[in-house]
Structure 1
């Protein structure tokens, strides 16, 4: 009986111990399931992948006639080469034909892809119990495995990365392996000439422009950076972010600044205040937030909050002018910060 643990799969794919039999990639991460099957097929194809005889079925296709799987496994390749059968969306309908092939696959490698399967699932149990069977669980990446994948990808491509590239990518991406691979391929292609990646590159290429621009709007307004503010506003609005939503987030941001400023006025340093926050702001914003706490007094923050409340009221009364109100208000606050 061979039931691999999820953390053992990557090592197994580097050196599979079988060249024939039944291989089952299963789990909730559909992207990782597909990638696992693809990597295994590449290895099984040998030194000449083009010579491999690969047949692909979809699970529902075999439900109507499961015997097709047995016929394909028993058939002789007309052109030689490794016989590989790939079955996507595999399910319990395959248990009977696979039982026939379990002990004698006839030299064929049968690679199954399935959703998450409980331990008592008939298909999973059959493969795990088979002498010529290997079950490969595919569960979502953890922060550690995701970071390792990113480092390995960039190292193999000879790309240097700034220290904040991988943490930023972890924050942006989910844990679907297929999505992660696609974004990493895009970054590798982008950095192919210069062989270097910065956080700004990652944000430009991988982040949702609207969501990403919000932090930039908050910090440009609070920090007095008019040019950055215009760029961030353009990006957010182009991504269809609602101007009233941005005004609400700005109101919350300045309310936070005022609350934190009270602690600074009580004798704590801006950095100590920020370090004590839970949840802690992303490290990439710490310097900008510290600068804002030094720029703004409590009285000035109170004025800013009043302006934002008035702007919010104006935008609700006249929704057609919400963008104009947003731009006018943020620029005024930006200029106020710059004069401190």
Structure 2
């Protein structure tokens, strides 16, 4: 059966009588994290060879043997398959026709929507098909807050918003950055915006932010260096587009406030979260180079960039570099005007 987003946490915490949990989607880090949660719900010690068997995609011929093996020490067993595909469909279907209390967890990143394995898991009442796609917006912020709450750590709203805006679409990378914050804050701590910036100042997201600020301020050389660093550190082209779009919208809000009579300083202070003090010069310079109309046009071009990057086979890295160069050129034209 297909599991909706609201029921995922409960299913992973209490698999009950389920015999198969299929985890599919684009976020391999989230798939691995959820597989681990489901496995520990059955076998708290994942290093126990009598209760946990880990197989790769080429071990489909061992699946039946592992599913029906007995646990010598007692307790329910887990068969955890990494990088599963349609080759598992036939052996899984055959095993479901025979009684067993073993839970089979299948990681299947990139599984096609019409895959036979997915159709099997969605059709069977004792199977769960769980989609694992990158979180964004409020869902991502809620996950970050939950991870920190596990260590009794609180985070200021502006710090949470800034931090979430830096993260790419991989849950494993998000978890790593959150763990870094938790170590910095300590159990029971409180994280401010300055704390978060200080702690993750070497993250790829900071390079991405550097690229956005440099490009809109007309610094072509600085933007080129920053975007190359961000891409080399693993930032996805989709994250580039979304970060740029967020930055352009903040510039446009401030520019509209200035057009309404506010001073540049007041317009910048009115943004939430506020502009980081080390970036006020670049942000202010960009406000002097762009009109609200040109910022809107740049935002629309950035939205098209995200759509283009999502097309199969698109040269997404080249598209990102070209877009950064185009923004810097537009800003420089504003300076000449």
| TM norm structure 2 | 0.62
* Partner residue, 1:269: 262
1:71 and 2:65 equivalent? yes
- How far did residue 274 of structure 1 move? 4.3
SS in 2 for 1:111: strand
CA shift, 1:190, in A, is 1.0
- Aligned partner of 1:284 in structure 2 is 274
Deviates more, 1:123-132 or 1:183-192: 123-132
Q: Any stretches of 5+ residues in structure 1 without a counterpart? A: 222-232, 242-255, 297-340
Partner of 2:179: 185
How far apart are residue 211 of structure 1 and its match? 4.6
Match of 1:143 among 128, 137, 150: 137
Find the partner of 1:204 among 179, 198, 206: 198
Question: What secondary structure does 1:43 align onto?
Answer: helix
Query: Is the 1:6–1:139 Cα contact (8 Å) retained in structure 2?
Result: no
Residues 1-340 of structure 1: pairs in structure 2 closer than 5 A: 2-18=1-17, 20-45=18-43, 53-59=51-57, 61-62=58-59, 66-192=60-186, 195-206=189-200, 207-208=203-204, 210-212=207-209, 268-270=261-263, 274=267, 283-285=273-275, 288=280
- Residue 212 of structure 1 and its aligned partner are, at CA, apart by 4.9
Give the aligned length.
252
Shift of the 110–210 alpha-carbon distance from structure 1 to 2, 3 Å rule, reads: closer
CA distance in 1: counterparts of 2:32 and 2:185, whole angstroms: 26
CA distance in 1, matches of 2:144, 2:88: 36
Q: CA deviation at 1:86?
A: 0.4
Per-residue Cα deviation, 1:90-109 (whole angstroms, up to 9, x for no partner): 01111111111113352211
**In 1: Cα distance, 2:116 partner to 2:263 partner:** 60
What's the CA shift string for 1:270-302, capped at 9, x where partnerless? 259948xxxx97742288469968xx9xxxxxx
SS of 1:164's equivalent? helix
CA 1:109–1:191: 2 relative to 1, 3 Å: same
Alignment partner of 1:141: what SS?
Answer: coil
Q: Say whether the 8 Å CA contact 1:103–1:131 is kept in structure 2.
A: no
Give the superposition deviation at 1:139. Answer: 1.3
Bigger drift between 123-132 and 155-164 goes to 155-164
Return 5+ residue gaps in structure 2 as ranges. Answer: 231-250, 289-337
Compute the RMSD of aligned alpha carbons: 4.0
SS of the residue corresponding to residue 53 of structure 2 reads strand
1:14 Cα shift?
3.1
CA 105–56 in structure 1, closer or farther in 2 if over 3 Å, else same: farther
CA contact (8 A) 1:161 1:196 kept: yes
Offset at 1:155? Answer: 2.5
Q: Secondary structure at the match of 2:180?
A: helix
TM-fit CA distance, 1:115: 1.8
Change (3 A) 1:200 1:211: farther
Equivalent pair of 1:270/1:290 in contact (CA under 8 Å): no
